Amino acid sequence: MAATAGEQQDVRNPATGETLARVPLSSAADVDAAAKAARAALPEWRARPAIERARWLFGLRQVLESHADELARSVTREMGKTLPDARAEVGRMVEMVEAATAVPQTMQGRILEDVARNVDCETIRQPVGVCAAIVPFNFPAMVPFWFLPFAIACGNTFVLKPSEQVPLTQELVFNLIDDHGGLPDGVVNLVNGSVDVVNALLDHPEIDAISFVGSAKVAGYVYERAAANGKRVQALGGAKNFIVVMPDAVIPRTVSNILGSAFGAAGQRCMAGSVVVTVGDARKPLMDELVARTRELTVGDGLERGVDVGPVVSTPARDRITEWIERGIDGGATAVVDGRGASTGTDGSFVGPTVLDDVTPDMDIAQEEVFGPVLSVIHADSLDEAIEIVNRSRYGNGTSIFTESGAAARRYRHDVEVGMVGINIGVAAPVAFFPFTGWKGSFFGDLHAHGSDAVDFYTRKKTVTSRFFSGGDTGRFFVEQAEK
């Protein structure tokens, strides 16, 4: 069903400023129609055997795989990241579908025979109902698929609201789903829009569970409002990710990883490295190579070959990031590479890779999420001091340590107050079959996205205690009266 609302929004290519499309924004009536369609589809979909739901996902996997290039180009056009980066994103999207196809195994319950004589007890998993996901701009293909395949694999029906800044890739995905067929009407539904549509989803009585990914402030709000309305909710928020470099780190490989982490997707990843903490003698060799190689990075349209850093998502984002660089410098940082004023001669929104040295842990630039290609550098004397700096952050999404010392790595992994840790890995975003386990201000809820947590989130447990009197002596169970 098409949107009824008259309101439309421009979607722009951030590399050129050109308008890609005008997208109709959904109204509260559209959200209502989507939720009701999802509710109506639920009995038929949950009645399908798990292996049949998995088989539909096998088919979807093939469809996505055969349109991978088109999807990647759509991601680059509307969001800006380079084409190789977008291809990697689509690869991860497909991996989510693959992981979800394990549902005939992962959705199994547990049983114990003879909890009392001839009495059995079993916990089974059933779908939660109608589930919705509200997602951000920075992974137009992958983040919606942290939810959609797992939700429907478990027998739920689903409503997706993409970011209003990047609605086109999911429109393409939903068209592919429609063309592929095999899914009853109403199992998956797409609504577009912003705050009003989010509120309509959070308040809708037919929606049982909400997944949210976005900035910290909105994540907290969504968590509270959805929970107040009695919904199951998981809300993934913002981040400030630290990378610790020990004196024994392999510098060239470490720098390659830092560049990919800090400047890939123009720093617009929730797992982007935002602060490097060098320990002791790591400082000089790391800084020499980091600065030299940052200066070599090419800024431009992500569709072009040889471009390392694409645009940021919009001109307001560019202005906000530029202000952050100014604030860092005003606070005492030194811009050893300054990306302000980067331009490619188009109306695109570019910020060049920026390295701010002499940052101290108390500065705002060391504590607040910038969400752009800006890397701060702090120097520490010891691993203890580095861990203290990292643990001071109110966020706890991702972190990495670069070292060849097993003891240092083990110590870091054990003591750091962050939910996803990379050891000699720059972007430690877990693969689909492990959960995405942010901590502290980066996550509100209990059950995380994808991996085994997805099945826990998307199922309700039901526990059945049973016996049959004709099967033999069952004795008495719990508070049962004795027979006269």
Q: List residues near ligand NAD by CB under 6 A.
A: 134-138, 143, 161, 163-164, 194-195, 198, 213-215, 218, 221, 236-239, 270, 369, 371, 397, 436, 438, 442
Q: How far is the CB of 145 from ligand NAD (least distance, A)?
A: 13
Catalytic residue among 121, 131, 154, 270: 270
Task: Tell me whether residue 125 or residue 231 sits nearer to ligand NAD (CB atom).
Answer: 231
Q: How far is the CB of 13 from ligand NAD (least distance, A)?
A: 17
Q: Does the annotation count 154 as an active-site position?
A: no
Task: Tell me whether residue 359 or residue 427 sits nearer to ligand NAD (CB atom).
Answer: 427
Q: How far is the CB of 203 from ligand NAD (least distance, A)?
A: 12
Task: Tell me whether residue 82 or residue 442 sits nearer to ligand NAD (CB atom).
Answer: 442
Q: How far is the CB of 395 from ligand NAD (least distance, A)?
A: 9
Q: How far is the CB of 273 from ligand NAD (least distance, A)?
A: 13
Task: Tell me whether residue 155 or residue 438 sits nearer to ligand NAD (CB atom).
Answer: 438
Task: Tell me whether residue 20 or residue 409 sits nearer to ligand NAD (CB atom).
Answer: 20
Query: HEC profile for the chain?
Result: CCCCCCCEEEEECCCCCCEEEEEECCCHHHHHHHHHHHHHHHHHHHHCCHHHHHHHHHHHHHHHHHCHHHHHHHHHHHHCCCHHHHHHHHHHHHHHHHHHCCHHHHCCCEEEEEEECCEEEEEEEEECCEEEEECCCCCCCCHHHHCHHHHHHCCCEEEEECCCCCCHHHHHHHHHHHHHCCCCCCCEEECCCCHHHHHHHHHCCCCCEEEEECCHHHHHHHHHHHHHCCCEEEEECCCCEEEEECCCCCHHHHHHHHHHHHHHHHHCCCCCEEEEEEEHHHHHHHHHHHHHHHHCCCECCCCCCCCCECCCCCHHHHHHHHHHHHHHHHCCCEEEECCCCCCCCCCCCCCCCEEEECCCCCCHHHHCCCCCCEEEEEEECCHHHHHHHHHHCCEECEEEEECCCHHHHHHHHHHCCCCEEEECCCCCCCCCCCCECCEECCEECCCCECCHHHHHHCEEEEEEEECCHHHCCCCCCCCCCCCC
Q: How far is the CB of 269 from ligand NAD (least distance, A)?
A: 7
Task: Tell me whether residue 45 or residue 137 sits nearer to ligand NAD (CB atom).
Answer: 137
Residue closest to ligand NAD when measured from CB atoms: 214
Q: Which residues are catalytic?
A: 270
